[in-house]
Structure 1
Amino acid sequence: MTQPISDQSASDQSVEVTAGAYRVRSSRVSLDSIVWAFLNGQSAEAIAQSFPVLTLQQVDAALTYYLAHRAQVDAYLAQGEAALGALRQAAHEQDPLWYRALRDARRSAA
């Protein structure tokens, strides 16, 4: 189910939660992607160019939402990182030989 985050500001209306994930409304672009690019120094214009399905206004509104709800979104992102780390660890434990071969191949290619 899709639900708006709030009924207050335009930036709040620009982000929705779908299946537990923050998304830019009316798109499949995750807020995670926008925030990651922003935190890595990309401008709103560069982010909009990276996601042609979004307008600059949508990117600006998503960034405004992030900045207004930074603690909440950062906690969500940290939770996702922790879950990814647990999945990564489980995969490494399930097939350590494959991951060792992958690591060795990466080293020899560098």
Structure 2
Amino acid sequence: MFKACADETRLRLLVLLSERELCVCELVDILEMPQGKISRHLAVLRRAGLVTDRRCGTWIHYSIRRGGTPLARRLRAYLKSEGRDDALPAADLVRLRDLADCGEICCPPDRHKVPATTGSK
């Protein structure tokens, strides 16, 4: 877990995900980094048991893993308080608040629906 948290980008991701579930496209917009780089960092956090993912069509949404060890719970508490005091996480949170809803950026809910078929008689 310590190795996973030993990177500034991963800490920024954890601070953002402590706010709410986010799609990779939202994280790309907020952090202004390439999708591949963000996905690699999210994979490290997932393997460390710090985040979970949820697939919705072709998009993946990430969130902080609930429960876990006492150390993981203390990390979540830190992220919600002192973790956001540094300049970069604070700026990231401002961009998160200003960001349009994910559905307006990359994965609108109607894209996930299977088109209705009309039967002919």
TM-score, with structure 2 as normaliser: 0.37
Q: What TM-score results when the alignment is normalised by the length of structure 1?
A: 0.40
User: Which of the pair has more CA radius of gyration?
Assistant: 1
Greater RCO (Cα-Cα under 8 Å, separation 6 or more): 2
Q: Greater helix percent: which structure?
A: 1
